[in-house]
Amino acid sequence: MEQAIRLATENVTSGNGGPFGAVIVKDGQVIATGANCVTSSNDPTAHAEVTAIRNACQALGTFKLDGCEVYTSCEPCPMCLAAIYWSRCDVIYYGNSAADAAKVGFDDALFYQEVMLPHAERQLPIHQLIPEKAWESFAEWDKSPLKVEY
């Protein structure tokens, strides 16, 4: 956890990005780290946890991080939380809370609320188009001998 917090602080003092750092550990060894680089990379998905997951997957040569632990300087936002779930990590440890992040301008409350709302009630319009055509790719996936389950 101390390494994740140190990464977050160094990220701010170096001017590379926001105050967020993450470390992924497997079998007691650090596999990968990540720091927030949203503004320096012009990538809104470049949060510390997502960056660390990408780096860990690259290091281990897999898209599944089962057996791994995530240490993050702040409670993961909804995007990062979903990424951690998709990566199949075993546990998350965090330093600052989402409420702490909100105090310094990183308020994720809207995102948590929006996800719970029916599509028609969300602030960002969302509409389904040509689902019958879209289903074709799922049908191909469903019968493909090349699919890799995840």
Which are the catalytic amino acids? 49
- CA 31 to CA 8: how far, in whole Å? 17
Q: Let me know: does 100 contact 76? Beta carbons within 8 Å.
A: no
